[in-house]
Structure 1
Amino acid sequence: MGKIKLYTLFMLVMLISAMMAACSNDEKVGEKAADPAELSGGDLVIDVQADPQTLDPHLGNDHQTLNVGRTIYDTLVYTDQELTMHMGLAESFEPIDDTTWEVKVREEVTFHDGSKLTGEVIKANIERLLDPAIASPVAFLFDMITNVEVIDEYTVHIETEFPFAPLPAHFAHPGGHIISAEAITADYAAMDEGEEPGSVINSNPVGSGYFKFEDRVHGQSVRVVKNEEYWGEAAKVDSITFKVVPEDLTRVAELETNTAQIIGHLNPSDVTRIEQTEGVKVAKEDSVSLAYLGFNNTKEPFDNELVRQAISMAIDKEQIIDGIMDGAALPAKGPLAPPVFGYSDEVEGLPYNVDQAKDLLAEAGYEGGFDTAIWTDDARIRIDVAEYLQSQLAEIGIRADIRAMEYGAFLDSITNAEHDMMIGAWGTVTADADYGLYPMFHSSNFGMTGNRTFYANDEVDELLVLGRQETDEGERLNIYKRAQEIIIEEAPLVPLYHTEHLAGLRDEVEGFWIHPSSLYYLRDVTIQ
């Protein structure tokens, strides 16, 4: 590719720049502003399915880690409920040439330890994210960055290997949460003494967010308290306790008894119960997420494309949506949800055809089927889906056991490629195909980063790299369309559905909303 002219890059990022610059630093668009009479504090309890993997935002990419981290840390920029981008810790985030972005940070921001936000802090965070010794699972978001230069106390220049228009959107991801530089220094000092990366930050996370870390009981809860010196609009409640309650029906019961005021991972089959119960309600949000059946492409017989295609064609997704999801989802044709840039109506999934599935299985040498297992966490909705898939696969002779386990153990198992098949999920937090495809399907991202099917295809790798580097929007769409066509044909996973995000709330809770990525926005939550 020839050198892309500066003018072209500016035109291509105009939409991003226009969306970001005009935002007030006081209120995040889309969040409900509370009436002053409502600002009465209170202690909010949120029941969650699992414990966060870590409180170090550079070392986790699971839902619980990101959700808790949203309260403790800030990002340079952020997206609202409509996926429009706004300024966060940055006052501006602008391209100044083909491969250089200038970021000016706010001067009034202090971290929970009293230290100031400066350009040096931004440099320290980016360099830590990219440090091989840290081995961050979200490093792929920033691995196009080649240099960070501090221009003055509050200005940095971020240089990239190639023109990369979605860079601001990547800094809106919680992987871009900014940690106190003093905490980073202490964490490196602990590493020098033989501790694991993140040992200091995980035990005492220090951000600049509207809540501060208070305490944690591993496996039980994380508590944060209001940051009275927050640089922007302050939180409304005095504290939030993220309480670990793995059983979804127990979470529902705790909501009904006001033991919890918000519950996460609401099972669609419980929506009617909550809607018909006095004093509680349901929050809903369309998503950019994907639920899928993933194959371990390194294990027999799932290293055989015909076997993967056969299983894909044996699954009736509409029955999952109608019978298990109670209509609260869309059938997935491919890996990207409709709101994501790069989604194409022209991309068609493999059809549901049991007879053809049987023929493909026979052609692969498994006419009599085989024994295998479906791995899942212990959420009731996932187990329900696994049981349905078990019955569908039995129709083509595949005998699948279900191995349900606690969420953390499940995550460890699939990260280490111990599974045969597994029920997985991925949220395209940036709403851009780069995040929806690169971590899940590029061969450099096996394991924790996102490629838990351990799929490798040279052409797909090349296309996904091209998609990152191309600045012409139309060309990017063509590149991602071709990549999805190959992925669907080779079937490293079965795209099942794009879920509707659901949470249960007490009636007295206001100001809560769910981002399309599934993360909770909690600054403006009030308890009447």
Structure 2
Amino acid sequence: MRLALLPLLFASLCAPVLAQAAPLSVCTEASPEGFDVVQYNSLTTTNASADVLMNSLVGYDATAGKVIPSLADSWQVSADGLTYTFKLHPGVKFHTTAWFKPSRALSAEDVLFSFQRMLDPANPWHKVNKSGFPHAQSMQLPSLIKQIDAPDPLTMRFTLNHPDSTFLATLTMGFASIYSAEYADQLLKAGKTDQLNSQPIGTGPFEFVRFQKDAVVRYKANPDYFQGKPSVDPLIFAIVPDANVRLQKLKAGECQIALSPKPMDVVAAADDSKLKAIKTDAFMTAFVAINSQHPPLDKPEVRQAINLAFDKASYLKAVFEGSAQPANGPYPPNTWSYAKDLPGYAYDPAKARDLLAKAGFKDGFSTTIWTRPSGSLLNPNPSLGAQMLQADLAKIGVKAEIRVIEWGELIGRAKAGEHDLLFMGWSGDNGDPDNFLTPQFSCAAVKSGTNFARYCNPELDKLINDGKASSDQAKRSKLYHQAQALIQQQALWVPLAHPSATVLTRTDVKGYSPSPFGRQDFTKVTVGP
């Protein structure tokens, strides 16, 4: 009897070990602004909310370069390009938590709520968001979508006012995440609408546990995730603004993944047998936005002078240390409509002074430079970069005061247009070039706050809108070339760099790949030998 029990005893002892999921700690550089992703436009917030807690109707496969199923198993587009019909995956469960227990699976009712709250002023949730809906507004969804209806509980239909070749790709963005209408109704009746932002509910691979600002976000694996429970559990975002500290925590095993490493940290990781650097070309641009609504920055000659005054080659070498390509416009070179022949602004302080004199500012003027306190992929050394710009502007008589502002406050105030010169970066959410143009340079994006240059031009707006209306890539490229030329002529940005997306991990981390869009996917990650 004793011998017969030994195999069973051995199996019972081993089973829990084999089934036990390993924890995953990710060192990130900043706190999310919140978890109701539709209110915000920063990548940090998208990473902490949409990427781990939520799903959208469709996703984007960066490797294959195509839209793929997510909450929708399939979709059809009408011949005239005006109607999109989605078939939802059956049986998808929302998170069950201490504050919410769903009574039903995801249905078209949830999709309707998720879009109506953004698009319908009569929806009771539309007025709740004090920050508005920046992405939906900048992507011009209120004027694009004519009607949303549900022919049956697992079918969604969008009818557009006009064809838009970017619509399907737009639905892969974080702001298009699908929320629980049942949870929203519960909060509305209880007068606790703020809870949607502080105690989120989604269908995603992880469930929210708790958030301590500037310290940690804790998640646990969703046991009912419709694409399979993740192998890592719990998931922890350790908020560590200092890149040096992120590296030390990685080396000590306190984190298994470190985001936004400094270029020198990537080099150092190569000499550590327990670490590895994973790199991909990023669909991103670092830039200084010039607020065209603030005099004297409203004059093109002044904006051009600022471009000419900044020694961008020295900046790139000092701040990115060989980890980025120089930028000459909004698009990374891997964009299919990239205009490679634009002249750009070579470093020329003398010409910059001449332009200032022509604009009536022979003796210069005073302005401000806004930047974040901690480094990121698109701004590895904020302090050094701001100081270099300040010094170069001083050479042409422009006195610039540096203002270092915490990330969440910086984003909020920049969206309100309070800045003069703003160190910023933009990451496209998919491979479509419009993902830079509409949110950063359209008139609608001035109102929503994502257009940090605060520039509205009917000619540029027409180029952007005409490009979206066409499904002909050659025609779109021609229009986007014209848009890039106009953006450069108006000197709306000081384009800085197109970085490589590099993430440091410990060698026992498997299945993690950095996204060219800066999105995070931990569903395939394992930790262990």
Q: TM-score, normalised by structure 2?
A: 0.88
Equivalent residues in 2 for 1:328-477, closer than 5 Å: 328-380=323-375, 381-446=381-446, 449-477=449-477
1:308-319 counterparts in 2 under 5 A?
Answer: 308-319=303-314
Partner of 1:45: 25
Judging changes above 3 Å, is the alpha-carbon distance between structure 1 residues 500 and 116 closer, same or farther for their aligned structure 2 residues? same
Aligned counterparts of 2:318 and 2:251: Cα–Cα separation in 1: 25
Change (3 A) 1:466 1:39: farther
- For 2:18 and 2:324, locate their aligned partners in 1 and report how far apart those are by CA, in whole Å: 34
> What is the aligned partner in structure 1 of residue 181 from structure 2?
181
With 132-141 and 162-171 compared, the bigger mean Cα shift is at 132-141
Q: Which residue of 1 aligns with 2:66?
A: 84
Give runs of aligned pairs for residues 204-243 of structure 1, distance below 5 A: 204-243=199-238
Tell me the distance in 2 between the aligned counterparts of 1:449 and 1:76: 25
Q: Which moved more, 1:342-351 or 1:208-217?
A: 342-351
Using the alignment, how far apart are the partners of 1:447 and 1:413 within structure 2? Answer: 13
Matched, 1:110 2:107: no
User: For 2:298, what is the secondary structure of its paired residue?
Assistant: coil
Tell me if structure 1 keeps the 8 A contact 2:201–2:207.
yes
Checking the alignment, whether the CA contact within 8 Å between 2:446 and 2:456 is kept in structure 1 is no
The alpha-carbon distance between structure 1 residues 39 and 352, as it changes in their structure 2 partners (threshold 3 A), is farther
Superposed, 1:494-513 pairs within 5 Å as: 494-513=494-513
- For residues 179 and 38 of structure 1, the distance between their equivalents in structure 2, rounded to whole angstroms, comes to 34
Query: Which secondary structure state, in structure 1, belongs to the residue aligned with residue 75 of structure 2?
Result: strand
Please give the alpha-carbon distance, in whole angstroms, between the structure 2 residues aligned to 1:314 and 1:40: 58
Distance 1:121 1:409 in 2: 31
Offset at 1:64? 1.7
For residues 182 and 137 of structure 1, the distance between their equivalents in structure 2, rounded to whole angstroms, comes to: 24
Deviation at 1:358, TM superposition (A): 1.9
Whether the aligned pair in 2 keeps the contact of 1:350 and 1:489 (CA below 8 Å) is no
The DSSP-based 3-state class of the residue aligned with 1:164 is: coil
TM-fit CA distance, 1:101: 0.7
1:139 aligns with 2:136: yes
Larger Rg: 2
Change (3 A) 1:67 1:410: same
Distance 1:171 1:38, change over 3 A: farther
Compare 467-476 and 205-214 and name the one that shifted more: 467-476
Compute the RMSD of aligned alpha carbons: 2.0
Gaps of 5+ in 2: 1-16, 97-101, 122-126, 376-380
Deviation at 1:227, TM superposition (A): 0.8
How far 1:165 moved relative to its partner? 2.1
Of residues 425-434 and 469-478 in structure 1, the stretch that sits farther from structure 2 once superposed is: 469-478
Q: Deviations over 1:19-62 (max 9, x none)?
A: xxxxxxxxxxxxxxxxxx99751211112111111111221221
Instruction: Give the paired residue count.
Output: 487
> 1:311 is paired with a residue of what secondary structure?
helix
**1:166 alignment partner in structure 2:** 166
Q: Which runs of 4+ in 1 moved over 4 A?
A: 37-40
Alpha-carbon distance between aligned partners in 2 of 1:504 and 1:172, rounded to the nearest angstrom: 26
Letter in 1 for 2:91: E
Match of 1:5? none
Aligned to 1:58: 38
Match of 2:197 among 192, 199, 202: 202
Q: How far is 1:259 from its partner? A: 1.5
Aligned to 1:58, what secondary structure does the other structure show? helix
Q: 2:489 aligned with 1:489, yes or no?
A: yes
Structure 1, 79-88 or 45-54: larger mean CA deviation:
79-88
TM-score, normalised with respect to structure 1:
0.88
